[in-house]
Amino acid sequence: MKYDQAKFLPMGDRALTMEFGDEISKKINAVIRRTTKAIEAHKEGILEILPTYRSITILYDPDVLSYESLVEQLRSYEGEDAEEASQQVKLIEIPTVYGGDYGPDLAHVAEHAGLSTEEVVKIHTGTDYLVYMLGFSPGFTYLGGLDPRIATPRLESPRLKIPAGSVGIAGSQTGMYPSESPGGWQLIGRTPLKLYRPEEEPPVFIQAGDYIRYVPVTEEEFQAIAHDVDAGTAQIHTQVLEGGALHE
């Protein structure tokens, strides 16, 4: 449910959380993105902005901006919901090889769903996913829109090392690991794209509010794209679409 008015929660003496609702929804996410853009346009005294599924945490300098004045400023951004359908959005294609060593849990996801592995791949690649937020590690994507038919619980025991680019499922979420790290998601595939590039600006080419479309590739195509990534010649395929084409 989206709140009629945002709630403000103090987080120590130099941060607060602005909470918009109690569920994951496109409507709440649209308000979060609109509010984040408004804050970014008036950043005096604001040190960092951290948007999440249903809230924004703002770190601020109390010597420049008091808690009361910050709340007043943030209240001024509230109003009618953004007309999301009229906004342009970026759709990013993510080439992904599924199964085998690249997606060791694909068979388990299929068994859990009562489907074949081919059906799981078809379902997973048949949806354009909204990037609700980035977190956990730099560039880790939390995507909305996973088909409930292939929702699968996390692993009972997390892996200590997951390869960078791994595509996984955890409950009703899907997402990607940008760097090698521990993790408990069910791994169904991997992309050869480098999702976190600390040497570049910005280091993450995917942002909250973008859409992701997984495109299945063969192992040979994966290796060819990986070669181009290493050579710095890989092309990331994107489209700019009207928001109404992607929203319910």
- Single out the residue in 53, 82, 111 at which a domain terminates: 82
- Single out the residue in 51, 82, 113 at which a domain terminates: 82
Residue 53's domain comprises 2-82
Do residues 75 and 2 touch, judged by C-beta distance below 8 A?
Answer: no
**Chain segment 99-127, per-residue pLDDT in tens:** 999 999 999 999 999 999 999 999 999 99
Q: Are residues 52 and 161 in the same domain?
A: no
Q: Are residues 22 and 130 in the same domain?
A: no
Both tokens of residue 74?
Answer: 């943030």
Domain count for the chain: 2
Query: Which of 148, 141, 142 lies closest to 172, judged by CA?
Result: 148
Q: Are residues 94 and 137 in the same domain?
A: yes
CA–chain centroid gap for 94, Å, is 13
- Single out the residue in 82, 101, 125 at which a domain terminates: 82
Q: Are residues 131 and 196 in the same domain?
A: yes
Q: How far apart are CA 196 and CA 189, in angstroms?
A: 17
For 169, residues 6+ apart whose C-beta sits below 8 A from its C-beta are: 105, 109, 146, 150, 151, 152, 185, 186, 188
**Chain segment 20-73, per-residue pLDDT in tens:** 988 888 888 888 888 988 998 888 999 999 888 889 999 999 999 999 999 999
pTM score, two decimals? 0.82
